[in-house]
Structure 1
Amino acid sequence: MSVRRLAEASVQPASFAFNRANAAAAKQWIKKYPKGREQSAIIPLLMIAQEQEGWVTKAAIETISDMLGMPRIRGLEVATFYTQYQLNPVGTRAHIQVCGTTPCMLRGSEALMDVCRSKIHHDQFHANDKGTLSWEEVECLGACVNAPMVMIFKDTFEDLTPERLAEIIDLYDAGKGASVEPGPQNGRTGSEPASGLTTLKSEKAILKSTREREAREAAKAARAAPDAIIAAPVPGPAAAPVAPSNT
């Protein structure tokens, strides 16, 4: 288990408040939970605070805990448990999370970390001189078939080479991160085979196959219908009513 602590007091802001748009978003999240369960909104509200400030401050944890009517220690427990919450200041333009789990490691994640060390800082969680970039190694980011990969804020960049990651870092540092298309960086779509499709290549062929199968099933059902009618028992004539007895 790793120990996660809040940033030093010297870098903590004195207060926190949601801006107008995020305050409205926070209220909408709170409304999604039943009465008496509003504290469940702590996770999305902390994430909104991080998106606004770049990291989760002590003041944000306390303010959100107070909003939800929960003890501040409970808010602190949530913030320190989930590693997606950054408890220290990170790069203002990009915080790069490099997956180091086995598939990515085997596919070259160490080389990606070397790029981060050379272009950002030798050590994790340390920003570059301008304070615009930082990085860390993380566990599985969930796209093992597209290894190696990194995550920058909410976007993932997959099928990376050291050269491509260096280009992406430069673009973010120049304030042009929005120009980088998330997802695979080698031209493939999603998690399709890197060498190209081998089956189900044509949507037309797939639809044709489906229609042919449905037609065969319908024909089979139609052929079986007359047999079912013939095999059904035919009810006999109704019995004549019995005359009442005079005795």
Structure 2
Amino acid sequence: MNKYLLANMTWQEYQSKIKSSLLILPVGSTEQHGPHLPLGVDAMLAEKISLAIAEKVPAVVAPTISYGYKSFPASGGGPLFPGTVDLKGSTVISLVYDVLEEFLDDGWERILIVSGHYENEAFIAEAADLLMRKQRESIPKILLSNWWDNVSEEVIAEVFDEVPFPGWALEHAAITETSMMMYFAPELVHEELIIDEGIEHPPSYQSFPPSASMISPSGCLHTARSSSVEKGRMIVENVTNNMVSFLEKEFFLKVKTTD
């Protein structure tokens, strides 16, 4: 049982942490991640990164929002694969707005949203902005970030030592996500099903309805070959440290010396 998860706390335990802790809200999606990774990758990684942060600074991790806005074929596959469950953009905004409003009403003054799904971010940002745009004080404050923008250049170079870095849009179900899943949940990674398949020339347009011709049959956008547990550990530690660094700055949090 993880002691940082809000869902595992009594209401008294939860209440006792509001003034002294950071509230972290992980937001992901449920969508295809090729033949070798589970549908819940985005939500799982958002929650695991959140818990890694909670190991370093006083924090409570809220229940993960596990549904998100649809991906396009060249950034995740969209609605072309069974098991991908998409929300309308307006639904994402309303859902995140309502959840954040409840936490603010409880008294939280420092909130971090950890995004694990690229397509969610504009809608999460809209929810936070609508909620906070009339506030003039610096606190309460909501921060929105993700794991990929917190990977340092030197770590990218080490992770992509065998395969060229294709850019974050094509890293869906590829080396970084596969490596982090190997590190966090190796039992959910089907290494024998990793294939060298992807999109060689990403389209410069979108199609409505989405066209299956724009994505590989497997749903992979780039190869996951050369993924490893060690690369996953390297990414997670780097991302966690970089996120903790800006949390110290923005929220005046101190890294825990003992737990």
TM-score, length basis structure 1: 0.28
Q: More relative contact order in 1 or in 2 (CA 8 Å, sep 6+)?
A: 2
